[in-house]
Amino acid sequence: MDVETRLRWFRQAEIKHGRVYMAAFVGWIFSANGGAFPGMEQYIGATPLETWTNTPWEWELAFILSCGAIEFRTLVIAKNPDAKWNDWKSR
């Protein structure tokens, strides 16, 4: 792997991790202030961690699998920068 490709990969990883951090921070503050999405009001706890613990495991699993699917798709696009989002055969 040449230096330019490696630097592009590091740059993309840094941007992605920054965005994940920002989303997690906003979610933490939202939950800490008693915010909830419609239909989840009954799972609100005293802290964001308690709210996560109160959430049904099916919803937790769906959230984790969704994050994994997005990460997988990002890696497929990283291998072929000209690929479109709905082009699952790009490798």
User: Which secondary structure element, helix H or strand E, spans residue 57, and what is its range?
Assistant: helix 57-79
Q: Cα separation of 32 and 44, whole Å?
A: 9
Residue 31: CB atoms within 10 A of its CB come to: 19
pLDDT greater than 80 at residue 11: yes
Give residue-wise pLDDT tens across range 33-52: 988 888 888 988 889 999 99
Stated length of the chain: 91
CB-hemisphere CA count at 13 Å for 46?
0
pLDDT greater than 70 at residue 67: yes
> Tell me, what DSSP letter sits at residue 18?
H
